[in-house]
Structure 1
């Protein structure tokens, strides 16, 4: 590693190397991955361990609980408090559908999954909590882009690349789709992000008429009729929006300019 790298740089490289592993790792292997000397890696791991950023298991290391807590507070359109308040509504939706339920927020031209509930018969999906996908090819993403002109145009400018043969890639057709979503209040993904997966989503509107998040139901295309759950989604999204508005009125969700939750 170049000499100009500071101790902080080296510690961050070490954390990234540890994050790339799917198991606990020894100091020698971590030092090789991070291109550090073993003594430097050991010293930095000790500092990280004292701050709960890594945990020691025998002679090996893994990421610490403090990183999990910090990760849940990563900058994004929905604070952790808002996620917690919406969880009961996601549970209600799962009980109604017994299909995979997602809560997602818009970050730039991508969506970030902030919660997910699924059962034993869950369809295979690329989603996981914290994962990102292009917004233009997902139901939750389109539900959010429909109410954010600048983000929608940025997504078009970046390019509507085809993830599957069903992905909507024509700019004019995509804009027409967003107009329909604004009119109807519901968005669909019919195998546009993943073959075999169909989703239906609605935005959860904030107190100033802008969406805070979007909620979706997803299932295997061969057995899942998304239109069947449109009504349930609308009801749950309406109740979720009422919850957010009430929490804002009580001051339990801090707000900034425009009345949106502080991020």
Structure 2
């Protein structure tokens, strides 16, 4: 199936392709790379963004020299510098949590050997502040520094369940279905958050990405409110989220103690 043309955004649409600045075009390329979890070639990027191949190749070279993207053979993907920038967007708190909780994320990985995440809540989105890829990687949209709507992710629901204002803001903004499994009905979504508050564990049952399932628990801070969430993710075809719930609870408990000690 052909990938649809990538909408570059309202400002670029108003300007038209001939009036877009080099910055507009470079950002369009970055958005296209960010929407896919695999490397993409020049021809495909040019087709997706509506840019010429020569312009695409020239801008990719500039972005590569600045470590914003990296080349893998003849294809391209987002680079480490962009992840570092993304992780700093929301201030030092996320960076402190990332460093302090890295040993616990590593513990979770050693216990599961699956893809594990650390995420924080920002408004009604979650931001991934750390990630370790598992031995059997699954198709997963998460990247360090990237944001996703909280309502359709396990880490997001684990955090929204304990933040009434953020949960209501997410519901008020709408719960558009990203997949056939997304909880887009406000009543069902509120019931899910009530269950999470009771059980202390959240699930993503292919709600953000088809074929991907995830289990998450919050990390509680000194005030009894969650400061972040840990998750384990895998392919729906082989991954049983309940299998990893005990390990996730143990690691989150130790992580919460570390945060509360300061």
TM-score of the superposed pair, with normalisation by structure 1:
0.70
Structure 2 contact 114–135 (Cα < 8 Å) conserved: no
Structure 1 contact 203–212 (Cα < 8 Å) conserved: yes
Q: Distance in 2 between matches of 1:235 and 1:89?
A: 10
Superposed CA deviations along residues 20-44 of structure 1, whole A, max 9, x for unmatched, are: 4579xxxx969x98xxxxxxxxxxx
Q: Distance in 1 between matches of 2:107 and 2:79?
A: 32
Equivalent of 1:86 in 88, 101, 123: 101
The match for 1:157 is: 172
Q: Distance in 2 between matches of 1:67 and 1:214?
A: 22
Equivalent of 1:205 in 189, 201, 220: 220
Structure 2 contact 113–135 (Cα < 8 Å) conserved: no
Q: CA deviation at 1:227?
A: 0.7
Q: Distance in 2 between matches of 1:192 and 1:169?
A: 10
Structure 2 contact 219–226 (Cα < 8 Å) conserved: yes
**CA RMSD of superposed structures (Å):** 3.0
Alignment of 1:1-12 (within 5 A): none
Equivalent of 2:248 in 210, 222, 233: 233
Structure 1 contact 78–105 (Cα < 8 Å) conserved: no
Q: CA deviation at 1:121?
A: 1.3
- Residues 78 and 68 of structure 1: CA distance in aligned 2, closer, same or farther (over 3 Å): same
Structure 1 contact 78–212 (Cα < 8 Å) conserved: no
Equivalent of 2:235 in 220, 239, 244: 220
- Asked if 1:135 corresponds to 2:150, the answer is yes
Report how many aligned residue pairs link the two structures.
208
- Residues 53 and 182 of structure 1: CA distance in aligned 2, closer, same or farther (over 3 Å): same
Structure 2 contact 162–225 (Cα < 8 Å) conserved: yes
Q: Distance in 2 between matches of 1:191 and 1:66?
A: 30
Give 5+ residue unaligned stretches, structure 1: 1-12, 34-44, 55-62, 249-263
- Residues 69 and 110 of structure 1: CA distance in aligned 2, closer, same or farther (over 3 Å): closer
Alignment of 1:9-158 (within 5 A): 17-19=25-27, 20=29, 71-75=86-90, 78-158=93-173
Q: Distance in 2 between matches of 1:116 and 1:65?
A: 13
Q: CA deviation at 1:72?
A: 3.3
TM-score of the superposed pair, with normalisation by structure 2:
0.70
Q: Secondary structure at the match of 2:244?
A: helix
Give 5+ residue unaligned stretches, structure 2: 1-20, 34-40, 42-53, 69-77
The match for 1:196 is: 211
Q: Distance in 2 between matches of 1:182 and 1:77?
A: 28
The match for 2:193 is: 178
Most deviating of 126-135 and 70-79: 70-79
Q: CA deviation at 1:15?
A: 5.7
- Residues 53 and 205 of structure 1: CA distance in aligned 2, closer, same or farther (over 3 Å): same
